[in-house]
Amino acid sequence: MPEQILVVDDTPANIQMLVGILKEKGYQLSVATSGMDALKVLERVRPDLILLDVMMPEMDGFETCREIKKSDTLREIPIIFLTAKVETEDIVKGFEIGAVDYVAKPFNAHELLARINTHLTIDQLRRNLEEKNEELVRAYKRERESAVRVQSQLIPRTTPQIAGWDFATSWHPAREVSGDYFDFIQKKDHLAIVIADVSGKGMPAALFMATGRSVVREKSMGSLSPAESLTQANALICADAAIGMFITLFYAELDPQTGTLTYVNCGHNPPYWYHARNGEITELTPTGKVLGIDVSMQYKQEQIQIEPGDLVLLYTDGITEAFNERDFEFGDESLIAVLDKYSHASTERILTEIQSSLEAFVGSAPQSDDRTIVLVKRV
């Protein structure tokens, strides 16, 4: 389809000359004899290019150009000034307010047509690029939504239902996808509990998280001890890890009948263990380095006895390292304070209080990291 050009000039002879030149080349034309007339034409027509006279009564070309550039739908139309005003300051002024070119009167028809063709070509390339960018944005959005659906299916939707035990969880990605995850793995007579945090954020962390989850799950299903499972899992993760990527992970196997919890802490934030007997809160400190760095790492395991009323709080550093508007961290002390105050409540109540306290502290500051919590209580 031929390109459309709007010619704006208050001199009939100039309009007649321009129309003759442009029609011969097959352009579709609209004509306006003043700046105000041009704005009215633009209400019903969107040309591909505007030839705009500068020296017009009431509203000159500069003011007309400014008005056109205010419109979201019109501002990208290339404007070429046609004028006898060829002083440097006038030319500079024209470019500053948004013109793409400046042709002096009297003009040469061949030069004018060449410049029109150049700017129509440039504008077409710009529009093609915008369309490609929009296509890429739509494609990325579809892929991102797909990734969110896939990853959300990897996160348990329900907590274990075991007599004498109470569980609660929360998982809040900082972006659409997360490097955090938690997991419950039902074994023969034990329940494996996992919480992990992959270095980085976004899609790379989410992909690495999926890999790590699969490896840990596969190794936990055999007859190996927790320490042996994580040692072998680490060797596999090291082989797949990109440079600089690693996983902090806490893995525990719970015997619901006896209350024994055997754990391996691979460089993860030490979970807090609340002792109902005396009200103390202790840490389940690391028993080895993070996963994915040292292929020769041999993990150790520890064991604790969870008594009725005891509570174990697992979390990722997005909780304690959440910042408020003044750039202060929520911190371990704030988390411990909530745990201590509500330790006798249900895990759902404790989780609600942690989240409320965190939200009140953070305020309107943006979430900078994934936030995950797992609560385990013997009742």
Q: Are residues 207 and 85 in the same domain?
A: no
Give the predicted TM-score (pTM) of the model: 0.68
Q: Are residues 330 and 234 in the same domain?
A: yes
Q: Are residues 237 and 342 in the same domain?
A: yes
pLDDT, position 310: 98
Q: What are phi and psi of 359, to 5 degrees?
A: -65, -40
Q: Are residues 14 and 101 in the same domain?
A: yes
Residue 16 in any domain: the answer is yes
Q: Are residues 118 and 203 in the same domain?
A: no
Residue 145 in any domain: the answer is no
- pLDDT tens over the chain, length 379 residues: 789 999 999 999 999 999 999 999 999 999 999 999 999 999 999 999 999 999 998 899 999 999 999 999 999 999 999 888 767 888 888 899 999 999 888 888 999 999 999 999 999 999 999 999 999 888 877 776 666 676 778 899 999 999 999 999 999 988 767 789 999 999 888 999 999 999 877 777 888 888 899 999 999 998 899 999 999 999 999 987 777 789 999 999 999 999 999 999 999 999 999 999 999 999 999 999 999 999 999 999 999 999 999 999 999 999 999 999 999 999 999 999 999 999 999 999 999 999 999 999 999 999 988 999 999 999 9
Q: Are residues 225 and 318 in the same domain?
A: yes
Q: Are residues 118 and 189 in the same domain?
A: no
Residue 123 in any domain: the answer is yes
Residue 340 in any domain: the answer is yes
pLDDT, position 94: 87
Residue 143 in any domain: the answer is no
Q: Give the domain-ending residue among 89, 113, 130.
A: 130
Q: Are residues 216 and 174 in the same domain?
A: yes
Residue 150 in any domain: the answer is no
Q: Are residues 83 and 172 in the same domain?
A: no
Residue 298 in any domain: the answer is yes
Q: Are residues 372 and 238 in the same domain?
A: yes
Kindly report, residue by residue over 347-376, the tens digit of the pLDDT: 999 999 999 999 999 999 999 889 999 999
Q: How many domains does the chain have?
A: 2
Q: Are residues 226 and 344 in the same domain?
A: yes
pLDDT, position 58: 87
Residue 146 in any domain: the answer is no
Q: Are residues 35 and 174 in the same domain?
A: no
pLDDT, position 147: 64
In which domain, by residue range, is 95 found? 4-130
